[in-house]
Structure 1
Amino acid sequence: MKTPLLLFLILFKLSLCPPLATQEPVKIAVVGLTHSHVHWILGRENKGDIEIVGIVEPNSDLAERFTSQHGLSMDLVYEDMPSLFAKVTPDGVTAFGSIYEHLEVVKACAPRGIHVMVEKPLAVSTAHAKEMESLARENNIHLLTNYETTWYSTNHEVYRKVHGENAIGPLRRVIINDGHEGPMEIGVNKEFLDWLTDPVQNGGGAVIDFGCYGANLMTWLMKGQRPVSVTAELKQIKPEIYSEVDDDATILLQYPETKGVIQASWNWPFSRKDLEVYGKSGYLIAKDGKRMVSRLEGDKMEQNHSFDSRPYPFDDPFSFFAGVIKGNIKMEPFDLSSLENNMIVVEILEAAIQSAGKGERVNLP
């Protein structure tokens, strides 16, 4: 019978390619605890694919608070990276300090052959990004950037509809909205707030913190095409709270046949991360990670769609990072986490800041 033969072949193939969770866990060190997204890895369910072998954090009070909160031992904590590397050789490092510190992490890890994943965005400037890129290429390490929206099922469904099915025809306009009420307003911890509102350590305010999501998704949807020009307006709607950085950013990206609109703000009435994609013959709107609406040619009204979480190991950054390190996952150029994509993200953000400062459009070479 055909069915037993097919089942045998499937089981045989699976025996040759065991799931990541059944392999030896990838040794991961966490460098920095000041970015509150670090709770994502510290409080993560143990899937057997990674093992935290060290934590670098010079602020002992912060380290004690977070390790206690997640039931981790302070024996894992080191004051700096040299102290960590003297005792531990991780396969990969996840960086959860300020954006300015990302370069320092890559400088320490790349010559040791240690792969790095930074929390979004890649760098505070193109100068930092280029140095990080050179270090990664020269030392043959993976350098990934993590965004929450990378793991949204809806965003991948939008991409599949646009590029796999050509469901809405040529792209005409993409609108990406990201942000919340403001970091002070939502109560982020002081250590995070201190650098998030520092124009050097963060590179800017909302334009960096949330503008990066839109630049990342737009670059992915455009398959790595750089915009022809960037025009931006940055505002300080709450200067009494955010005196040194912008708290609202609108970025316009021009492509030969497509327009991208990025609306990044610490002034939304509610937290949001949504994506609107309009083509010649229809539109797709990812309302969050699992809900999408669409109207395609021939539809008399909007259609509602819901999706489950993405399958393992594409459901969270750390499973994905482990898969990349193991060689089980191969990133394509301009994938959401890829270095190629995120070099363009930094270029867009830097051009946006320049545009707002000059009050004019910035043409990209």
Structure 2
Amino acid sequence: MIVCLLALAPEGSRADDVAVGSVRLRGGYDANPQLLPGGRGGAFAGVDAAFAMGRSDGGVDSALSGELQRADYATRGLVPAQRAKITFDIQGDPFAGWTLKSQSSAESIDSATTRSFDAVQNLRLSADGDGVRPFIVGELRYSRLNETNAILTDFLPEDQRFIRATAIPGVKSSFGHGELGVSVNVSATRYETDPDLFGYRRRNERVQPFLFYRAESDLADVSLSVSRLYGTWHDPDFSPVRALLFDLGLTLRSPDKHWQFEATGRRSAADTTFPISPLTISELYSGTLSYSEPDRWRIGATARWLRTAYLDSPFSSSILSYGLTGNYQVNRDWSVGADVLRIHAAVLNGERVDSVLATLSLTRRFVWGEKKLGEKDKKAPAPEAAPLSAPTTAPTPSASAAALY
């Protein structure tokens, strides 16, 4: 759950401008923030923030959104953790029957285990209308990545820097309340320093065909993305990558809208600085059953399992969490929440770690230009992810926080 910054509309803004945001202050007790054997816990305080601003002017739509997460710990020696991201989208109709969309984003992460920065420029040209519609996406990414590792037991002396160019041609077709499509993701990655500190050549090429589907109705939402990743690395010590990846989502609602069940399943690939691995493969499965009185309160039971495996090595880690969540809507703009989770983890060396995470939160919501917002926009001001984006899991401020957010 992301909590958002106040988005103030500038004086004299147009009638078709819109801005939403909220700020959440949270605090509580984290028994083992980094999920380490013998790890120390204690009180923590944090702020989660995000905003979204949009404008429609003369057939050109633009949007600016941002996110911020930060956690500070009372226990001496636990460094603060922070994640920040900003995204700018603009789209128009440069040719009859076609839409061109540009997305520029920058994201930084700074925690006890990860330091990273990503700058991404994405262009998407897609056909309008009904029936089968072609599209093509071009993306250029600059990344810096540094992770703690088992060999140095600390961060690398220097960040690994790389550039990735990607092209994604595809077709899709809409029918009723659904959409079905196919695409293929072709990319090449080049590192600034090759070979790296440990003598490995990490440059690589990847081909990833996708099949995606999504449908919505009053009682159920379904999304599915399945792909096969074929990756070739230039180092003979890295095996060719052949991996089945997927991103599944299911939401079921009772006719009276009181009960809701949400389930997700995801298998995704991510870059790593781990010396002997070309990639990590993560599997995430989660489910939440909740009961709510609309616009008043909600209580739910949740469970989540995350496993990360390092290819070409025997190492993996996992986190299992389960617990209760609750939220009470004081009025239209203010709400309070509480979460209690039990966490069981297995770290890279196989040791078992247990933890407890208890959180209280206070959220303030802001809306300007509300008459222009639909119900879906009010609930989720952040832009929706494209169905053909490679499945990813956003990093969280701490290892134990990954069990909650």
Which bin holds the TM-score, normalised by the shorter protein?
under 0.3
**Larger RCO of the pair (alpha carbons < 8 Å, separation 6+):** 1
Output the TM-score relative to the length of structure 2.
0.22
- Determine which structure has the larger helix proportion and give its number: 1
- Determine which structure has the larger strand proportion and give its number: 2
